[in-house]
Chain A
Amino acid sequence: MNDFPWLSVLIAVPAVGALLVALLPRGKDELAKRVALGLSSLVAVLAFVMAAGFETGGARHQFEETYDWIPAFGVHWALGVDGVALTLILMSVVLVPLVMLASWNDAERYGGVVAEGERAPARSVKGYFALILALEAMMVGVFAATDVFLFYVFFEAMLVPVYFLIGHYGGPQRSYAAVKFLLYSLLGGLLMLVAVIALYVQGPNTFLMSELGDLDLDPTVAKWLFLGFFVAFAIKAPMVPLHTWLPDAAGQAPAGALVLIVGVLDKVGTYGMMRFCLELFPEASKWATPVVVTFAVISVIYGAILAIGQVDLKRLVAYTSISHFGFIVLGIFAMTSQGQAGAALYMVNHGFATGALFLVVGFLIVRRGSARVDAFGGVQKVAPLLAGAFLISGLAGLSLPGLAPFVSEFLVIIGTFARYEAAAVFAALGIVLAAIYILWMYQRTMNGPTAEAVAGFKDLSRRELVVIAPILAVIVALGFFPKPALDVIDPSVQQTLSRVQMSDPTTTVAEKGARP
């Protein structure tokens, strides 16, 4: 393994880029966009070059770097990725340039939906791109951190750019949504801070995951600390009943930012459950499993039912995500290798599938100036490519076999069934409901007589095609051939499970049979 500090570079390039873009003189919007897109593409290329050197079956964490940061608190600038983190980072860095390209022309004009007759105030273009770059740096950091304190720093600092993305570039109710988002996340984060502090006091005065792993905690303390971490992650993920910030944020945030908020940021919650809750507090995790599984199943069904009733496209997609996050949490806490591998894969697949859905919804909103389902109708006749992209991403959302989310959802359900049969049966209901909300949404917006306001719709532009085509290609590719991703994910899942000292139930379905 070479000693090049890959991960630090992946954080530094967008961070410096964000400063650079923010400091460009006013009026240089075009330059700002190009610099931002160029840098984020560079990050993506670098990330893939790094990933090529990842040895499956090698050390648990690879590309490790450890430097002292604040020795007084035992804090290190410690980075490293295992399979799960690596796939999540790759997903993030692919999505960022695409999101930039998708918001190329409308960052300043549409912060989402503008009420009829109201002119959206002009907003700083370079600010939007600078915030996204800053967010990218923190996204890489949060997945790569192997020091609990460093993770917490990225976890909390990430709120600031997101807050401004929603509050500054969002729709009419943006400041309400932004404040709600921030307060929810901050409250969760601060509870986690207590747990982080207590961990520091209890432990060997270090925050390195590698040294905290062997911590022998008092069971009662461990349960409290688990709760501190878990609540923060459950808010982030978002799980019923801590989910109410997401639909509001989704209704107001610009579609581009939403891809990153729902597609990437919310994964920090589920990633955190896997990495921190399970590995730091294995006993407490097992203790909490029944409750967590119950809430996960409730999330699956509740999110799906509410999605059916939504009249706003972005809110609808947000509720579908709550349902999907229920699946991910279910897979993690089923504590079987299939469940966890499925959950880890689902995080990636969901990022692409929901990302695609939000992007297409964004294209629709830009054309129509409204996000209401009933504002559309018969789009398919005027813009067949757009409708096609919508259909594929929608079908990915309902986990159609052949598309990526199917594999992961299937693994999750099988993995869950092996241990919690009832939970798996109820969760499977979510798939049925998914068919209703996706197909009904498609039917109402794309089929039927062409609405008057829709008649003038242009089909996907070249720029939009460049944005959406790669994501759809990834969804199809991972749908038919998930093996590369699973190969990378599996070893780290096994390690997590061995930390929790759980093995698969003996009646498990043969692993190979679970994959199409």
Chain B
Amino acid sequence: MSAGVQVIAAPGDIPAPHIEYGQLAPMLIVFGVAVVGVLVEAFVGRSWRYRVQVPLAFAGLLAALVWTLVLGLSEKPFHVAAMGAIGVDAPTLFLQGTILVLALVGLLLIAERSAAHFAAQASALPGSEAEQAGAAAGIRQTELFPLMMFAVGGMLLFPAANDLLTMFVALEVLSLPLYLLCGLARRRRLLSQEAAVKYFLLGAFSSAFFLYGTALLYGFAGSVRLSDIAEQAGQGAGGEPLLLGGIALLSVGLLFKLGAAPFHMWKPDVYQGAPTPITALMASTTLVAAFGAMLRVYYVGFETLRWDWRPTMWGVAILTMLVGAVIAVTQTDVKRLLAYSSIAHAGFLLTGLVATSREGLSGSLFYLAAYGFTTLGAFAVVTMVRDPGGEAAHLSRWAGLGKRSPLLAGAFAFFLLAMAGIPLTSGFTGKFAVFSAAVDGGATPLVIVGVLASAIAAFFYVRVIVVMFFSEPDADGPAVVVSPTTATAVAVGLAVTVVLGVLPQPVLDLAGEAAAQMFVR
């Protein structure tokens, strides 16, 4: 790397990096489809765009998924790719596969035609004539799809990034499209735009923390590669303040993306304001990507330093579980409630991280897959309950839903029970996996806090069930709009939640094998 510094480099002097295209193909496919999607926006007639974009996005995600599976099955000894910038290994492939399947299901929600979740023209001011004209002309937002593809591409790269700069690039690539997507809600546009601005400002702030942390770590280790940092830290090479400061700042950036307390403030606002299909995507795929990246950073980069960061992570995990569970009790909006539930679940996941063992890793991987589908299904249900003015997200509007639409309410109740961790649902299996790893790792007090938080959390899940089933429906209650694509998303979420609760062994095996092979360095 330092070879070309002395003279002005002639073109031949910079060695062309060796890129393993085959191993990076899933990411490249998704990014490629995103670029093609932009071109479609530019060159295909407006009436055709939707019909081109949706199959394109589906095909892209599916191809990436198939390729990921092939990579996973080929069982070569895994190693780093792209000159050490990207790790293609079993846990990463597990995470990427999870992200891709979740994105496919999320795409079903975003591609929903009948609902019109998204503003026709994001640039038109809310309430302006331009907006009305756009709506009257039947303009449909289709930039969503390339934006979503970029975000998914970033999410695939985020947990795979083996050096901190690549990770930072991935963080930005996944975040920027999401900031935009958050502001695109058709109803309550001001709330949506406020959410987008909040998310952007806070996200940019946390990115700065991440970058600063990277800089400090570079200062310590002379490299941004995780394995180099681990090596230097293992040698006790001095420069402790740089190292610990770097870890702290980097953690802030990562914990922000995860939505762990005390960096969780954005989550309820953004989840509430964003169009619900985007919320579903963020709550599932982004969480998987962000936690996947955390797993890699802490298992590869900072593993030798676990006595330094574990106490802090204990505190963060306890705070996150309690804050998520306790504040959720007071919520009256279904989307905000699910947002706080997602915060609490981030805390449960962190107990798996604190375990720092192979069991902890496999438990976390399983938990991510299980929770991703449950939360995606839950948000899909939210999109189906509608008032004339949009989604009926206020809890009181859900009164008596169990009488009006027993199947849908039953599905939602099942998702809530899964989040509460009742046996025979995926939520229980996941909790058992991470908690048992944590107890094994000597974090029993953390687990006790975890189950107490679960009990508090159960209270508000149950409250929603009470409202849906035990109270009488309003005469002018919300309508349940069933469309095939959304119903499919709910069905997939439900099926995965049941299967991972009743017969979790195959996925546990998969996660266990992935964890046994560990992240490459």
Contact = CB atoms under 8 A, between A and B. Distances in A.
A167 B435 contact: no
B472 A197 contact: no
A147 to B, nearest CB: 13
A183 B455 contact: yes
A295 B371 CA distance: 41
Contacts of A164: 469
Contacts of B508: 70, 72-73
A20 interface: no
A160 B469 contact: no
A179 B422 contact: no
Interface string B461-495: 01100100111100000000000000000000000
A197 B447 contact: yes
Interface stretch (B259-267, B274-282, B293-301, B436-444): B436-444
Nearest to B410: A22
Contacts of B444: 194, 198
B458 A156 contact: no
A157 B424 contact: yes
A70 B471 CA distance: 38
Contact of B436 (A159, A168, A191, A197): A197
Interface residues on A, range: 20 to 34
Contacts of A168: 469-470
A201 B440 contact: yes
Contacts of B91: none
A153 B459 contact: no
A460 interface: no
B436 A174 contact: no
A201 B363 CA distance: 14
A100 to B, nearest CB: 22
Given A156-B422, A160-B417, A197-B432, A72 B512 contact: yes
B505 interface: yes
Given A72-B509, A157-B422, A201-B436, A194 B447 contact: yes
Nearest to A221: B444
A121 interface: yes
Contacts of B428: 153, 156
A164 B413 CA distance: 11
B505 to A, nearest CB: 5
Contacts of A160: 417, 422
Given A70-B505, A178-B470, A186-B458, A152 B423 contact: yes
B462 A182 contact: yes
B340 to A, nearest CB: 18
A27 interface: no
A193 interface: yes
A72 B362 CA distance: 10
A489 to B, nearest CB: 29
A500 interface: no
A191 B448 CA distance: 8
A175 interface: yes
A73 B439 CA distance: 14
A183 B422 contact: no
B454 interface: yes
A59 interface: no
Contacts of A72: 504-505, 508-509, 512
A154 B451 CA distance: 18
A110 to B, nearest CB: 16
Contact of A153 (B424, B436, B466): B424
Nearest to A200: B436
Contacts, number: 83
A193 B458 CA distance: 15
Contacts of A117: none
A187 interface: yes
Contact of A194 (B424, B429, B448, B509): B448
A73 B432 contact: yes
A297 to B, nearest CB: 29
Contact of A183 (B433, B447, B459, B472): B459
B490 to A, nearest CB: 18
B452 interface: yes
B466 A121 contact: no
Given A156-B423, A191-B451, A194-B451, A167 B469 contact: yes
Most buried by A among B423, B466, B512: B423
B462 A183 contact: yes
A137 to B, nearest CB: 11
A191 to B, nearest CB: 7
Give chain B's interface residue range (CB within 8 Å of chain A): 35 or more
A190 B417 contact: no
A404 B455 CA distance: 39
A187 B448 CA distance: 11
Given A157-B423, A175-B471, A178-B466, A190 B454 contact: yes
A156 B431 CA distance: 14
A25 interface: no
A198 B424 CA distance: 20
Interface string A1-27: 000000000000000000000000000
Identify the interface centre among B433, B436, B448, B463: most chain A CB within 10 Å of its CB.
B436
A58 interface: no
B290 to A, nearest CB: 25
Interface in A200-249: 200-201
Interface string A44-77: 0000000000000000000000000111110000
Nearest to B458: A186
A121 B400 CA distance: 12
A186 B436 contact: no
Nearest to A192: B451
B435 A197 contact: yes
B470 A121 contact: no
Contacts of A71: 505
A197 B439 contact: yes
B102 to A, nearest CB: 22
A460 B274 CA distance: 61
A399 B195 CA distance: 67
Interface in A450-479: none
A153 B503 CA distance: 13
Contacts of A73: 432-433, 436, 508
Given A190-B455, A194-B444, A197-B432, A153 B423 contact: yes
Contacts of A190: 421, 451-452, 454-455
Contacts of A175: 466, 470-471
Contacts of A191: 451
6 contacts: A71-B505, A72-B508, A121-B472, A175-B466, A190-B421, A190-B451
What are the 9 closest A-B residue pairs judged by CB atoms, nearest first?
Answer: A190-B451, A153-B423, A72-B508, A175-B470, A187-B455, A156-B423, A197-B436, A201-B440, A175-B466
Interface of B: 417, 420-424, 428-429, 432-433, 435-436, 439-440, 444, 447-448, 451-452, 454-455, 458-459, 462-463, 466, 469-472, 504-505, 508-509, 512
Given A73-B508, A194-B444, 11 more contacts: A70-B505, A70-B508, A153-B424, A156-B422, A167-B470, A179-B459, A183-B458, A190-B451, A190-B452, A191-B451, A193-B435
